Chain A
Amino acid sequence: MLRVCLKGANAAARQCLCGKVAAHPLQHCRRYTSAGDSGVSAGKIVAASLLTVGGGLGGTILYANWDPKFRSNVEKTVPYSDQVFGMTIGPPPPPPVIPIPKKPAKVEPLQISSVSEATKESKQPKKEKKAKEAAAPEKPPAVEEAAAPSPPPPPPPQTIEEASAEAAHILSAIGEVPSVPAPGTSDQTPAEAAPPAAPPAEAAAGECHECAHHEPALKERPAEEVTALLAAKDKAEQDTLASLSSTLDETLGSSANVTMAAIGAQEAALSAIAVHTQKLKEAMDAEGAPDKKSAQWRALEEALDQRSRSVDEAGAALLRAKDELEKLKAVINAAKDSKIDAARPQVLAAEENLHNMIVDLDKVVGKVQAAQSEAKIVSQYSELVNEAKEQFQKELDSITPEIKASWKGLGKLSTDDLNSLIAHAHRRIDQLNRELAEQRVREQIHIETALEQQKLEHQKALEQAVVTALEHNREEMRLEQQKKVEEVREVMEAEMRTQLRRQAAAHTDHLRDVLKVQEQELRSEADETLKNKMQEQETHYRRMTQEQLDAFTLDMNAAYARLKGMEESIDSHVIAEEEARKAHQLWLSVEALNYTLRTAGADAPTEPLESAAAAVRESCSDNEFAQALASALPAESLKRGVYSEASLRARFSDVRHLARRVALIDETRNSLYQYFLSYLQAVLLMEPQQVAPPASLNADDLDTFKLLSYACYSMERGDLELAAKLLNQLRGEPRRVAQDWLNEARLTLETRQAVSLLSAYANAVGLGTTQAP
């Protein structure tokens, strides 16, 4: 089957590829055979050639089937071989696919595993952390907690991914940072809130709160307040001290006065008692004249009165003194309680005084009491004596009723009376002797009892005296000690004062120096400020004057400038009007030029534009642009004028005709025969008279006939410029024929362009010179 196809393909290939080639050998063969019989027959030759060709083709096809490169080469070099190959061995195999490397697939599972392991590792420390958190809620914030697991040896296995795990863990910890402190603080705050929230008594809590309130209140007092408080305290102290001292002095004074008064009174009482006693004794003892006796008795009574009075006074004074002393003691205690150091010596002095006064008072009182007791004895004796006397008197009276108790009348007595009296007296004496003897005996007993009593009393008095003496001594000792303490304190104070004085002196020296320096500095500063201020004032003043001057000059300048401005504006107005006039003139001249262009006749050119151009040049003598334009007019147009478009159009038809006829003639072909041919061509060639010219010409369009038809079209549409451009593309003889027409057209176009420019310019200038309202 394949072989048949192969043979068919061979035949087709032969026919396609080497049909012609095969034809010749057959013919050659035929000639050879017809010329002379050779040993080799045609059939054999044909078969041999067929075989070689078929073998070559088959071999090529087989090898192409095996080697795709060879196949592609053959396909490239031998045309239509690809079809043959396609028919015999099928379509070419597809291009081999590039094998993809399998490395990424291997890498990915590794990464995933590491990530999962890392997350696992991170999960474990997270759990640990949470456990630690639960165990110790009072731990410090998250950063420290994150650091905490790392210092203690982590229990999970020491894998290679630990670093990454820790990094992940740290990252997760950092991520958890906002959440971690919350449980810690929430744990802490309830723990703290619990103890203060459960006080046993509200008062304590109240107190705590109060204390808490006070403490901050106390703590927060500023230094100024403290100094103020201290100053106030000092002042208060001073005041209290002053008041205390004043009160002390007062009370001391008063108590001293009163005590002195009391003592005086007591002494007066003492003296009175002594006097009285003395008087009494005298009165008792003395047996003087009755006058004197009565006088004595009277004096005695007086003395008694005096004594009683003075004793009363003394008692009252003593009471008063005691009261005053009590007051003084109270004041002294108060002074002691006030704890002011400065008052201590005063207090001490007051105490001493008090003690002395008490002692004196006691002494005096003791004296008075002794005197009183003596006086009592004496008075008792006197009373007894008086009693005896009265008794005697009574007896005497009873005996001698007539005689009154007057010793004066002794001389008048009779002898009976005297005898009775003496007998009475004797009896009395006996009685008295007996009494005396009795009395002596009793006296002994009495004396003993009295002595014992006396002893007891003496003991008591002694004890009392000892106690008082002890107290006094104690008081004295205390006072002495205090005095000594005071002295020592004074000494220390004096010492401190000297030291402080020295320090103060040093301080004052330093202060003096500093003050001197400061004074200098301040003085210099003040001088500088003064200088600056003076300078400022001066500059200010100068500036003000300058400003005034400047303002004045400014005003003057402004006025002058305005004047100038007005003048200039007027001038500029004039200039502008001039300009406008000139522009108008220019415009007019350009219009005239334009008009001259229109004066072209049917075949005649326009008038020479010389005059109009001259007029234009005159009217724009100062404007370079217009001058350039005016001089850009071609000389021909100036001298001779230009043709109108209509004439050019009319001429164009002739030119076209002629150009058609000499279309073939150029530098190379210009013999008469060519002329004949060209004429023939022009006659025979039919092209449309007018063809719209394309936007851009290509090489085909440069044919004379085409160009002419384009140009005709443009001319008919009035586009002289395009027609001229197109005719400019003519070459050879047609170009020579159209040359003059082209020149004329160019002239016309130039002139028209220049004139249109000028008119546009004139219009613009005219518009420009119109002044805005």
Chain B
Amino acid sequence: MSEKELGQKWDRCLADCAAKIGAGLGLGIVFSVVFFKRRTWPIAFGTGAGLGMSYSNCQNDLRSHYLLYNTILKKQ
């Protein structure tokens, strides 16, 4: 059903967002703790990167239909 597609997309988007933000947060926390002496910026950076990635992914997913070339050519 085409009407369910959008919902599915949103689901995916949300899930992806949650995952990415969580992952970014986690990685940020890890990196902040491990490499950057418990500064907050890696957490923000990670979260922001996660958010950004999820946003981008979400957007791409949502507009994937309108993109002209949406096949990823594999290396032969």
Contacts and interface: CB of A to CB of B under 8 A. Distances in A.
Given A667-B66, A670-B66, A736-B65, A741 B3 contact: yes
B63 interface: yes
Given A672-B55, A672-B58, A740 B63 contact: no
A568 interface: no
Nearest to A743: B2
A667 B66 CA distance: 6
10 contacts: A662-B6, A670-B63, A671-B63, A672-B55, A737-B2, A738-B3, A739-B2, A740-B1, A740-B2, A741-B3
Interface string B1-39: 111011000000000000000000000000000000000
Contact of A741 (B2, B55, B58, B59): B2
The range of chain A's interface size is 10 to 19
A737 B7 CA distance: 10
Interface string A646-669: 000001001100100010001100
Nearest to A737: B3
Interface string A707-747: 00000000000000000000000000100111111000000
B16 to A, nearest CB: 13
Interface of A: 651, 654-655, 658, 662, 666-667, 670-672, 675, 733, 736-741
Contacts of A658: 3, 6
Q: Ordered nearest first, which 8 A-B pairs have the shortest CB separation?
A: A740-B2, A670-B63, A739-B2, A672-B59, A667-B66, A740-B1, A655-B3, A658-B3
Contacts of B59: 670-672
A655 B62 CA distance: 17
Interface majority SS (helix, strand, loop, mixed), chain B: helix
The range of chain B's interface size is 10 to 19
Interface string B53-73: 001001100110110000000
Contacts of A672: 55, 58-59, 62
Interface of B: 1-3, 5-6, 55, 58-59, 62-63, 65-66
A738 B2 contact: yes
Nearest to B64: A670
Given A672-B55, A672-B58, A736 B63 contact: no
Given A662-B6, A671-B59, A736-B2, 13 more contacts: A654-B3, A667-B66, A670-B59, A671-B63, A672-B58, A736-B5, A736-B65, A737-B2, A737-B5, A738-B3, A739-B2, A740-B3, A741-B1
Nearest to B59: A672
Contacts of B3: 651, 654-655, 658, 737-738, 740-741
Nearest to B58: A672
Nearest to A670: B63
B9 to A, nearest CB: 10
A659 to B, nearest CB: 8
Contacts of A741: 1-3
Contacts of B55: 672
Contact of A737 (B6, B58, B62, B66): B6
Nearest to A668: B66
Which interface residue of A662, A666, A736 has the most chain B CB atoms within 10 A?
A736
A205 to B, nearest CB: 133
A658 B9 CA distance: 13
Contacts of A675: 62
Contacts of A651: 3
Which interface residue of B2, B58, B63 has the most chain A CB atoms within 10 A?
B2
A654 B2 CA distance: 11
Nearest to A658: B3
Which interface residue of B3, B5, B66 has the most chain A CB atoms within 10 A?
B3
A366 B55 CA distance: 203
Nearest to B7: A658
B4 to A, nearest CB: 8
Nearest to A657: B3
A650 B58 CA distance: 29
Contacts of B65: 736
A671 B64 CA distance: 11
